[in-house]
Amino acid sequence: MMETLHPPVNAAPDTAPAFLDFTARAAAKVASLIAEQGNPQLKLRLYVSGGGCAGFQYGFSFDDQVADDDMQIVTDGVTLLIDAMSQQYLPGARVDYEDSLEGSRFVIQNPNAQSSCGCGSSFSV
């Protein structure tokens, strides 16, 4: 598993956010979803927005555009994008994929979250 971190284009190295772990299992699932879409330029975007039952919620979308202030994390050739506003909530987090009896989903383990809801898609800081 090879992971590389690319800080925002205009950020000084000492102000780049802490590393976020984008696991090989999550990258493999994203790669298969991108293959289904037939657009190899797609990247997975992770973002945090207000809302959800705990105050903030995680969201995912595919994007073929990279903003100047996006953080890019590459695992096994798959890119995870995180916008500048969301970066502050995610240092040290882990993005994984699980396939269990309860269903298949991306899972975020976030050490910055003081509490989260039962579904794991929203949190508070």
Which domain does 48 fall in, by range? 21-109
Neighbours of 50 (CB within 10 A): 8
Task: With respect to residue 121, please indicate whether it lies within any of the assigned structural domains.
Answer: no
Q: Total structural domains in the chain? A: 1
pLDDT of residue 113: 77
Task: With respect to residue 43, please indicate whether it lies within any of the assigned structural domains.
Answer: yes
Nearest 10 degrees: Cα torsion 5, 9, 13, 15: -100
Average predicted confidence (pLDDT) for the chain: 81
| 96 labelled binding-site residue | no
Task: With respect to residue 95, please indicate whether it lies within any of the assigned structural domains.
Answer: yes
Task: With respect to residue 3, please indicate whether it lies within any of the assigned structural domains.
Answer: no
Distance CA 111, CA 125 (A): 10
pLDDT tens per residue, range 39-85: 999 999 999 988 766 578 889 999 999 999 999 999 999 999 999 99
Task: With respect to residue 71, please indicate whether it lies within any of the assigned structural domains.
Answer: yes
12, HSE (Cβ side, Cα atoms, 13 Å): 2
| 53 labelled binding-site residue | yes
pLDDT of residue 14: 43
> 57: domain CATH number?
2.60.300.12
pLDDT at 108 over 70: yes
